[in-house]
Structure 1
Amino acid sequence: MIPTFTIDVLLYGFVHDNSIILPQAGALLVAQPVLDDPNFVRTVILILAHIDDEGSMGVVINRPGSMLDSPDRSPLSEWIATSAGPHVEFIGGPVEESSYICLAQDFGSPSNVTSMDMMSDDLNASSIHRVFQGYSGWGPGQLAYEITENAWWVLPSEPNDAFDNDPFTLWSRVMARQTSELRKLADYPLTQRSTNRY
């Protein structure tokens, strides 16, 4: 479940079920406005894996990082240059920040999550993909506890969420598309403390 220090490609499908209330691969974790952990303020996380007795992992999909210009990172630079814009590495989370995950849309398998070596030729430059540095992880029961403590909402994802070209507004747009009362929070203001993160 936890990625190794090698560069992985996770091919993920689309899960769209308006009744999602429990964490599952393909769903979104959306930070509630009261969550003030600087790693997760106003974040949207795509859940990549969730097993109740093992834990959960995902990547923050709305935190673009910086451009890669270091020669020693040139293999990553090639992947990022062909990724879904903006062409930067994204901050996937605070766990294993020296590792990288590449998400790619898998149109042939709408609900499958699989991993492959990013150094292989299986993913070409025409594919829709995005590179994430690090990931977000929870031990057994930890995510369930945080959800009951009102840190997160578990919401359905849409096919292009992980590859959105305007990640800074993704939190508000995910909230706005909800059919419940949650959509009223789409314009919820950031607090001064949380604006310092961006």
Structure 2
Amino acid sequence: MEPGNGTFLIANPHLNDPNFIRTVVFLCEHDATGSVGFVMNRKTIHRLGDLVPDLKEVDFPVYEGGPVGLDSLHFLHQYPAEIPGGKEVLRGVYWGGDFEILATLLSKGHIAPEKVRFFMGYSGWGEGQLDFEMAEKTWIVTRATPEFLFSNDEKALWKNILNHLGGDYKLIVNAPIDPRMN
């Protein structure tokens, strides 16, 4: 499968870039000019209320979206009718939208934590960069599902998706991070 909007990039075990070791990246935008996505399995110590003073009572986790633009806040959600302006990336899953409306809904307790995910920063690739990484077999690509996107078990996400893919992918689940230590 080729990378595209609504796909997961699953880091191959041999990927030794510290930004992406054992990560699952959800691609939200992929075209000839580049790609944008979010690391799904790196929860930070921050809570949304720590980063947005008006939402100090909101105790939702924030994930490290990637190494680019760490001073920016992004979100995925499953509230298309309530939060206008989002881009549908996967059926029923939206990237961004009107943050003021989201903030109001959050402060009133109308947003379920299992239907929204917040990110500091993002993962980005310039023109041809992801194609090069694909040729190097850096990433395994599969269609994303809301089940995995909004999983509460982010520490096991990489293994869970590979196990779900089955076959040879099950064999690499337990590959050591450093093969010299095998």
- TM interval, short-chain normalised: 0.7 to 0.9
One of 5, 18, 24 as aligned partner of 1:44? 24
In structure 1, what is the Cα distance between the partners aligned to 2:94 and 2:4? Answer: 11
Match for residue 99 of structure 2 among 118, 127, 142: 118
For residues 112 and 166 of structure 1, what CA distance do their matches in structure 2 show?
19
Which consecutive residues of structure 2, in runs of 5 or more, have no partner in the other structure? Answer: 82-87
**In the alignment, which of 138, 155, 166 is matched to residue 151 of structure 1?**
138
Aligned partners of 1:102 and 1:118 also within 8 Å: no
Runs of 4+ in 1 over 4 A off after TM superposition: 69-72, 76-79, 106-109, 111-114, 121-124
CA contact (8 A) 1:46 1:59 kept: yes
Q: TM-score, normalised by structure 1?
A: 0.73
1:23-70 CA deviation, whole Å, 9 max, x = no partner?
11110000001111100000000000101x211000000000013498
Rounded to whole Å, the distance in 2 between the matches of 1:119 and 1:179 is 42
Q: Which moved more, 1:59-68 or 1:116-125?
A: 116-125
Aligned length: 166
8 Å CA contact retained: 1:34, 1:151 = yes
CA distance in 2, matches of 1:164, 1:60: 13
Q: Percent identity?
A: 33
- Normalising by structure 2, what TM-score? 0.79
Amino acid paired to 2:10: V
Equivalent residue letter for 1:167: E
Unaligned runs of 5+ in 1: 1-20, 82-86, 194-198
Match of 2:76 among 100, 103, 125: 103
Higher strand share: 2
1:179: Cα distance to partner? 3.6
Distance in 2 of aligned mates of 1:91 and 1:72: 13
